[in-house]
Amino acid sequence: MQVTVYNLKREEVGKLDLSDEVFASEVKDHLFYEVVKAQLASRRAGTKATKERSGVRGSSKKLYKQKGTGRARQGSIRAPHHAGGGMAHALEPKDWSYRPPRKVRIAALKSALSLFAKENRLIVVDSLELAEIKTKALLGTLGTLKADKKALVVDDKANDKLQKSIRNVEAHQFLPPEGVNVYDLLRHDHLIVTKGAAKALEARCLGTEK
């Protein structure tokens, strides 16, 4: 497929050939559910925990000798049946993360990119080089590109001026091509990519990246 390439004034400056397999494939909604669910599960903080006997305060010394006292056998004061002792079968933090197969993750990413292209929410620009680090100027540029609501901006991670200009804006987000994921794509209205980033995404989905 061919897409129009714009400059930062939204003037057409050329065309770019992109793979149909990546940017014009069938949109499979069920893959979005599987991959986003896995991403959100991996972000869960399994913080439920209690202390066992090794985690509470107190001496580990045997309270008194084993035999001859007429009393029940006792070990450490930190045993579960003592006040202030550790819990038996203590709860441990749970790891909720899991990872779908790579084919599923890549297929979902292709579907998301194709959805943006199909709905004309994909904007390819020749460059995103800014003159200075200035958030107000960047917001003006996004407005000119007609992507001022919620935009995911993708360019090389070496573009320091772009990263620093966008980082304080809650509605927009910057990601390098290798960091683009289904969850962040679907929660934005527009996808803005440079020519180089579009080709990097294509190579990543096709497994031809260097």
pLDDT in tens, the chain (210 residues): 999 999 999 999 999 999 999 999 999 999 999 999 999 999 998 888 999 999 999 999 999 999 999 999 999 999 999 999 999 999 999 999 999 999 999 999 999 999 999 999 999 999 999 999 999 999 999 999 999 899 999 999 999 999 999 999 999 999 999 999 999 999 999 999 999 999 999 999 998 876
pTM of the model: 0.82
Task: Please name every residue paired with 152 in a beta bridge, in sequence order, or none if there are none.
Answer: 173, 191
Give me the phi and psi of 175, to 5 degrees please.
-145, 145
* Torsion angles phi and psi, residue 174, rounded to 5: -105, 140
Q: Render 19-84 in DSSP notation, one character per residue.
A: -HHHHSS---HHHHHHHHHHHHHHH---------GGGS-S--S-SS-SSSSSS-----TTSTTSTT
Question: Mind listing the pLDDT tens digit for each residue in 107-158?
Answer: 999 999 999 999 999 999 999 999 999 999 999 999 999 998 999 999 999 9
Q: Which domains can be identified in the chain, with CATH numbers?
A: 2-45+99-206 (3.40.1370.10), 49-92 (no CATH)
Distance between CA atoms of 122 and 147, rounded to whole angstroms? 10
> Rounded CA gap, 12 and 104, in Å?
35
d(CA 57, CA 51): 10
**Do 92 and 84 contact (CB within 8 A), yes or no?**
no
Residue in 63, 54, 47, 61 with CA at minimum distance from that of residue 86: 54
